[in-house]
Amino acid sequence: MEGNHEEVNQGERKEMIDDRPDDVSTDKAEAAMDEANESDDSVVYGELIDDGDEGAEVEGDTMEDGPDDSVKVFRNHMAETLAVHSSPLDVNLIASGACDDRAILFDIDQGRDLAELDGQGESVSCVQFSHDGKFLAIGSENGTISVMFMQGATAPQSVLDGPSEAVTFLAWHPRGPVLLAGSEDKSVYMWNASKGHFMMAFVGHEKSVTCGFFSGDGKKVVTASLDSSIRVWNPTTGTAEVRIQANQPGIGGAFHADEIQCLAIGFVDTPLSKIAVSGGSAGTVFVSNLESGKVVTQLPSHEDGVETIAFSPPSMRPYMLATAGGDGIIRVRDMEAGAERCTFTHPQVVAKVIWHPTKPIIVSGSSGGTICLWNVLTGQKLAELRGHSDYITDISFASNTQAVVSTSGDGTVRVFDIRTIVQQG
């Protein structure tokens, strides 16, 4: 990314991190992680602002270039929309980020925007609600991260100090107000979002950090990078306890020679809780054990870069995995049987796949502007939804999984009602 910040090498970055205020001490980090596990319900942080704009939504819209299956279209962004996420607390609330340097909160039921968040002069590439829906974080391509509290708020949007280059991902602790962010500056940052306090920086990757998560139990941080490595970090000390990378001693097999572009980790309280699956720029897919640091196996490769990986929800049996990417192929694997269950074909690049939380259904968005629903048990395509006039950048479930929302190069946010499709599928 072309940024406004000078490049900081690893030594300078470590020195900068070491010079931070005493919020960064391991004692405070440990205390904050304990607090995250207990959750914080008392904080007031950020506000929702009703701007009274009633013109955000169009129903029954018809595209000039073809049919439009969406039931609502939000057009308030002035440039390509990049990211979308729905609130787990309010089934009608969604947030989107775009190249117009803004994030916008929309109410699907009312069909209007509720609030606008400032991207601080750069494209908003990440939006993420916390697991309890009480916080919304946005990340921009200049490294700015902002947090808003979503209920009873009186304080303004808060900007967190951290990355010096583009934000590549945001991830929340599974039980508390602790936020994780990766950056093109090769580092990962962690804050107590309820207090706006910087907690820890994880330094060691040699290239941009592309993806990361808290482990399902919240006790570890897992990241992957264009440096072809996966690392497991101790969140209270900031040290890398496990490093999975080609030619590292004891990894037990071949690993990525290509850049890691996407990562998924198994759900807690399942046999896959210690498993990570990573996808590379050359189409390679590897399964690794995060506890032992060993490569478990290599899965069938894609013919182009892997863009998206997702595990099926923990309530679904057998446990399955979906991978997809530049070759337009979605591969669905039965992780219990160790065999490929089915494949689906898009005519274009698959940008994102997500699993329905209660049905054996995958939803995918492609560079051709279409969204497809697939039944992984029958191997059938259930529907192909049209409406966008340009590539899909992100998709998310909304309205208690009754709808899919999407962002696109066409600058819109669209809502697709999938209730009938799911019932018949």
pLDDT at 11: 40
Radius of gyration of the chain (CA): 21
**What are the DSSP calls for 283-332, one per residue?**
S-EEEEETTT--EEEEEPPPSS-EEEEEEPPTTSSS-EEEEEETTSEEEE
**pLDDT recorded at residue 66:** 76
Cβ atoms of 125 and 139 within 8 Å: the answer is: yes
What does the alpha-carbon distance between residue 10 and residue 15 come to, in Å, rounded to a whole number? 9
Q: What is the pLDDT of residue 285?
A: 98
B/e letters for 384-398, b = 16+ CB within 10 Å, e = fewer, are ebbbbbebbbbbbbb
* Domain count of the fold of the chain: 1
As a whole number of angstroms, the distance between CA 91 and CA 71 comes to: 16
Spatial neighbors of 103 by CB under 8 A, at least 6 apart, are 95, 96, 97, 116, 117, 119, 124, 127, 136, 138
For residue 5, is it within any domain?
A: no
Q: Would 276 be classed as within a structural domain?
A: yes
328 occurs within a structural domain: yes
Nearest-angstrom CA–CA distance, 425 and 420: 8
DSSP β-bridge partners for residue 159: 146
Instruction: Give the pair of three-digit tokens for residue 212.
Output: 């990361």
Does residue 1 sit within a domain? no
Answer yes or no: is 3 within a domain: no
- List the pLDDT tens digit at each of the 425 positions of the chain: 333 333 333 344 334 334 443 444 455 556 656 666 554 432 222 333 333 344 455 444 444 457 899 999 999 999 999 999 999 999 899 999 999 999 999 999 999 999 999 999 999 999 999 999 999 999 999 999 999 988 754 445 789 988 999 999 999 999 999 999 999 999 999 999 988 899 999 999 999 999 999 999 999 999 999 999 999 999 999 999 999 999 898 898 899 999 999 999 999 999 999 999 999 999 999 999 999 999 999 999 999 999 999 999 999 999 999 999 999 999 999 999 999 999 999 889 999 999 999 999 999 999 999 999 999 999 999 999 999 999 999 999 998 899 999 999 999 999 999 999 999 97
Residue 189 lies in a domain: yes
Q: What are phi and psi of 55, to 5 degrees?
A: -100, 20
Widest pairwise Cα distance in the chain: 60
Cα end-to-end distance, the chain, whole Å? 42
Q: What CATH number does residue 64 fall under? A: 2.130.10.10
**Angle, CA of 314, 365 and 290, to the nearest 5°:** 40
CA atoms within 13 A on the CB side of 108: 29
pLDDT in tens, 331-354: 999 999 999 999 999 889 999 999
In the numeric block, the tokens 């390509």 are attached to 80
Residues forming a β-bridge with 57:
74
The answer as to whether 399 is a domain residue is: yes
For the chain, what's the residue count? 425
Q: Of the candidates 202, 165, 171, 197, which has an alpha carbon nearest to the alpha carbon of residue 187?
A: 202
SS3 14: helix
pLDDT computed for residue 58 by the predictor: 46
CA distances, 84 to each of 81, 124, 125, 137, 327 (Å): 8, 10, 9, 12, 24
Write 241-246 long-range contacts (CB < 8 A, 24+): 242/290, 242/291, 242/292, 242/293, 243/204, 243/293, 244/276, 244/288, 244/290, 244/293, 244/294, 244/295
Q: Say what the pLDDT of residue 421 is.
A: 97
Q: State how far the Cα of 195 lies from the Cα of 197, in Å rounded to an integer.
A: 5
Instruction: Tell me which residue range forms the domain holding 263.
Output: 10-424
DSSP H or E segment with residue 37: helix 26-38
Distance CA 158, CA 117 (A): 10
The pair of structure tokens assigned to 233 is: 């970090």
pLDDT digits (tens, 9 = 90+) for 376-402: 999 999 999 999 999 999 999 998 899
In a domain, 415, yes or no: yes
